Each structure stands twice: as C-alpha cells, then as structure tokens.
Structure 1
C-alpha cells in the first residue's frame, strides 16, 4: 500500500509529482490559495486544491485525514534575497511555518518534507533556520536529517548541508534550494539513528547535456524577442554597474561552453533578464510589435519561453510523459504568459524532488514501513 501524502502550499503540484514518480506515494489532500495555480493544478491532477492551511476549517479536515507524509513548499518570498527578508515578522507569509508546525503537532505524520529558498539558512544570521530546526527537533520530536545531538542532547548541524542545487540533478539550471526531511522520533524511537544522516547530493539523470540542448531554437514567436530600446537600456545599466566594480545586469546565458541557466524566479523580472538567449531568426530584426515601444533588436536576443522554463523545472519533457512518450503536461486555456512564468518560477525542480522522495523511500524501508525489496 503506498504511503499517503498531503500537499501543502502546493503551487502547481511539483512536489506531489516528484513523490508520485518515486512510486511509493499517493496524494490524499492538497492545499493552495492562488487561484491561477489552482486552475493549473486541477488541469494536471483533476482536483481543485483550493484550501487555506491557516484556517480552522482546513485543520479540522486534515485532522480527520489518514496520511503518512506531509509535503510543503512553504512561501519563500519573505526569506529570499529578492524579497524584503522579513521572515517570521511578515504577517502574511512568515507565519505559514507556524501553521505547518501546528498541523504536524495535531496529526503527527510519519515524515515531513519541506522546501524553501537557499537563503532560508542564512536569513537573520541563521536565527530563522535555527528556530525551524529547533521546533522540529525539540518541540515536535522529529529526527531532522543532517542534525546530530551531542552527549548533552544539544543539536548540532551545518546549514550548508541542507542546500542542494538543481544543476546536480539532471537539469541545466543553477538553482540552490533548502530541503528539510524529518522522521517522527516519537514513533520510530532509536530506529531513526539507523538512517543515513545526509541528503542526496545529486542523481545520475541527464535530461539535457547543457542549456543549448534544452533551448528550442528558431521556434520562439517574435514577442519573446527584446525590443531594441529595452535591450539598449539593459546594456547601459550593465555598463554602469561594471564601471562601479559590480557584476549586476543582464546575462546572455547560452554563449559560453556547456551553459546552464541562472535561477528562474517567480517574480519574472531579473529571472528573465539573467537568462537571455542568443537565437537569431530571419525576419525578426526591426519588426514592430504593438506591445513594444521600439522595434525588435537586431542582435538575436530573446527571453526564454515559458515552455523552456517548464523544461528547466522538469515539468515539460519529463514528469508527465506517458508510456508512449507523449507529454501530458498542459496549462489551462487562456492562461497568460505572465502566470506561466510565475508558476514555473515559483515551483520546484521535479527531478530533485523525485530523488529526495526515493531517499525517503529507502529510509521508510529501514524503519519497517515498506518492504525491503
């Protein structure tokens, strides 16, 4: 019988899909409040995940659901370098972890899987991450992978040991993220000490040789090409920063040997500008589009398409392939490019999640929850 998961702060279901691909898990409840993400989730899984984990109603529901593993990619804006870094002081997002820990307390899942930005471990000089780990270890009595206890029972850990990068898991994207896996010490007692106390460093998957192998050359519609005036503005901005000794500015990522993409971001913006690609097409240079103030640039520079972002995250070309190699990933009709970029940028890299799920499967075998075959 598969282990049952609940998918909190679900987005478009990347964490859920990674666990499903690992083969030993079945989702029984989901929660997401973004209406556009809910529509995509329903397109992919046939169920509307709209639930608010901060509500009493949801806690009432989840308390009566039998499940084994809690999954959550809880909001990262308050902890990211791109955000305001308010952390637990942010009324809307920082307290989400408090609600997750409350759900853990009242339901006691066998295991927990959490994902967040890499800056989580450094936020507020490490105090935020220390609060999270202490709450899991001391208050909730879970064994967090990567944490040890000394002879006095005090926890010890290296924050860096919780960060893994998508580029080591089969996709050409430099995307460091924080991953937290924990098992219920109250249930498993000293057996948790038998688990390998280290997250997977990578996998043997190679979906693409490099970014150029992923890009869909000469297929992007004209509107993905940058207007000449905007490209000139970016060039001047980068030159000013360079003169000050800074490395900030746009990046054409596919001109170097064996290129990989920079982190794609939910906010769009610099996530696009630091992932520009060189892809000249006939008839593009000088074209005038109603949506752009100046003609299209003559240097063959464009942003990556939402489809290419989907490939970077493993949604397209991997996670939804059927036995006939037909790709069943699809967005709802009429979803804007803005929402597509936001949803992919806000999601997870599915091959990373699948690898973490397989690691947890091995742990469950050691703990006696799954047959050791």
Structure 2
C-alpha cells in the first residue's frame, strides 16, 4: 500500500489518475486545497477520514503524515502564456517552495507535478532550472515531458508539462513517458446525448457582441475572439478565465424550446450556438460520468479549466507503478537469495 498526499488538489484530478493506475494499492493520507468551492467538489467525490486543509503555506511540514508519493498540481497562472508570466515574482509561483520544504522533510519515493507547457521556457528556462536543481539537491532524479491530452483519449488540444522525480536510491536511469495512445476522439464523442437546457445557448445580444469583438481583432490582424468548434474536431484547451467558454462553442440544433430560462438580453440565438456544459467539460478532462458535480456551473467551469486531464495522469502513473513494482520484485528476490544461502 503506497501512501500519497495531494497538494493544490483542486478537484482531485491527479489523485483520480493515480487511483485508477494503482487501484487498491494507494491511499491518500492528506489533501490541501485553498479554494473552498473546489474543496467542496473534492470532498463530494472522495470519502476520506480527514478534512481537506486550506492554506498549505500555514501547515507545518512536520504535521503532514509520512507518505511515499507526493502529488502537486501547483498553480500554473504565474508561468502561463495566457497570464502575466511573472513566475517566482508572483505569490502563486512561490508555492513550489512549499512543495520543496515538504519533500525535504519527508523524502517521499516519488514526487509528481503538473504545470503549463511554458514552465520549461519561462524566464529563458531559468525557472525550470531552479525547480529541477532544488529537487536534485534534495536527492532526486528528475524527468519531464510535455504531453498533449488529445493523444490520450479525450478531444482536447491541451499541452502540459509533467514532472516525475524519483528519490535517488530508487531512481531508474531513464523514465519513459507514455506515448500517443488514442487520438481518434472528437467533440461528438463527449457531447450530451440528450437536449440540454436553454441556459447554455447564447443570447442574440451576447452573440452579436462576440461577433463585434472578433471583427475588431481580425481587423488588427489578431486571432482573438470566440470560436465555434466542429463536432468532428477537437476542443481547444479549456481554461477558467477570459474567453475560456467562448473559445469552445458548438452548434447543437436539438433545442426544442427557445424560451429563456434565465434573464438575458434579446432572445436565444437561432443559429443554435451554445456553450458546452460542465459535464462536457468534465469529459474533455477525462473525468468519469460518476464524478459528482455539486456546485454551481460558474464554479464548475473554473474547476475543470484549472484541473488536469485524468487519462494522461493515469498513463504516467501506470509507468511509475511498473517501476516501483519492479523494485519490490528485486528486493524480494534479494531476500530470498539471502535466505537460500
């Protein structure tokens, strides 16, 4: 049984991927998430005998239970191309150092981190070199790879960096990240099977404003603006802010009642353009339909935009498990050899 902790846990996407890979051989003993609504979704889906801790910066590392695997999806906004890219000058960027102090004290066998692709290039590569050097100085061999979610059975073009650090005494010489497994899925595979609520359809007033917004940027030679995706294509990376929902609109002609169910300006558009639902976003991230969505849509869009793609995590975790099991087999063979002598 491997013991794990879940830092910057969000709604538990990294944990879910590891649980799918390790099955009954992993147990989460500690979780931390500052966002109360995300923690609410987390606790609705994971039944633990402990409470989710809020601010990890206020937690003494000595009070965290011993563990074998540390999971950390530390905030990416400080390094994102979509943000201001302040890195360690942003308070969110410095949260990696909280990961480091916990690693330094507990020395887990494996440290797993996920972040935006730009982490590697941020500040001309210096930011990632700092992260790598800190882990290496604490006694870890570090491996990393940028993977795209669309290669792992979900129709979302989402590139992220994945970092796997093994403690030196158990580290392999090389760690091979999983390769493309399934790139055939399209948006059509994840849309709701039945007609969705009229609330997800854009009003005529809002759609007109989006068209004007895009026209202004196109006139300036920019590529900004709303985008309607073909159902036989893949979605762009879902994100929690800005034009996140409007960059992944779809046409769904199944609406039978165009009566608004919320207060809108104008009418429901007759082009049948709508936002994807939170459940569809959950599917874009590879969450099973059994995953409970218990908070308001506004929070769910933010949570899934901030989350990870579960099948990618699972594929990497399966490789980690294979290595750990091989080590265990070697140790067992060694004990038997000593016994025979």
Per the normalisation by structure 1, the TM-score is: 0.83
- The equivalent of 1:197 in structure 2 is 175
- The equivalent of 1:169 in structure 2 is 152
Match of 2:55 among 49, 52, 57: 52
CA 1:290–1:4 in 2, change beyond 3 Å: closer, same or farther?
Answer: closer
Distance 1:370 1:95 in 2: 39
Please state whether the residue corresponding to 1:344 is helix, strand or coil: helix
For residues 36-66 of structure 1, the C-alpha deviation after alignment (integer angstroms, 9 at most, x for no partner) is 11111111112331243212x441211xx22
- The equivalent of 1:261 in structure 2 is 235
- The equivalent of 2:192 in structure 1 is 216
Distance 2:47 2:38 in 1: 13
CA 1:363–1:338 in 2, change beyond 3 Å: closer, same or farther?
Answer: same
- The equivalent of 2:18 in structure 1 is 19
- The equivalent of 2:44 in structure 1 is 43
**Counterpart contact for 2:199–2:262, Cα < 8 Å:** no
Structure 1 residue 108 corresponds to structure 2 residue 68: no
Aligned length: 329
TM superposition shift of 1:342 = 0.9
What value does the CA root-mean-square deviation take over the aligned residues?
2.2
Please state whether the residue corresponding to 1:119 is helix, strand or coil: helix
Structure 1 residue 280 corresponds to structure 2 residue 242: no
Q: How does 1:242-253 map to 2 (within 5 A)?
A: 242-253=218-229
**Counterpart contact for 1:33–1:51, Cα < 8 Å:** yes
Q: How does 1:22-171 map to 2 (within 5 A)?
A: 22-23=21-22, 24-47=25-48, 48-55=51-58, 57-62=59-64, 65-91=65-91, 93-137=92-136, 139-146=137-144, 162-171=145-154
Distance 2:329 2:138 in 1: 21
CA 1:288–1:111 in 2, change beyond 3 Å: closer, same or farther?
Answer: closer
- The equivalent of 1:156 in structure 2 is none
Match of 2:162 among 179, 189, 193: 179
CA 1:294–1:218 in 2, change beyond 3 Å: closer, same or farther?
Answer: farther
Per the normalisation by structure 2, the TM-score is: 0.90
For residues 270-326 of structure 1, the C-alpha deviation after alignment (integer angstroms, 9 at most, x for no partner) is 1111100000235455x4455212211111100000010011112133xxxxxxxxx
CA 1:45–1:369 in 2, change beyond 3 Å: closer, same or farther?
Answer: farther
Distance 2:122 2:196 in 1: 38
- The equivalent of 1:322 in structure 2 is none
Distance 1:355 1:33 in 2: 27
**Counterpart contact for 1:217–1:279, Cα < 8 Å:** no
- The equivalent of 2:336 in structure 1 is none
- The equivalent of 2:283 in structure 1 is 311
TM superposition shift of 1:184 = 0.6
TM superposition shift of 1:198 = 3.1
Distance 1:131 1:121 in 2: 11
Please state whether the residue corresponding to 1:129 is helix, strand or coil: helix
- The equivalent of 1:350 in structure 2 is 310
- The equivalent of 2:338 in structure 1 is none
TM superposition shift of 1:232 = 1.2
Unaligned runs of 5+ in 1: 147-161, 318-326
Distance 1:343 1:133 in 2: 28
TM superposition shift of 1:175 = 0.8
Structure 1 residue 270 corresponds to structure 2 residue 243: yes
**Counterpart contact for 2:3–2:28, Cα < 8 Å:** yes
TM superposition shift of 1:200 = 1.5
For residues 136-173 of structure 1, the C-alpha deviation after alignment (integer angstroms, 9 at most, x for no partner) is 12x21210125xxxxxxxxxxxxxxx211100111000
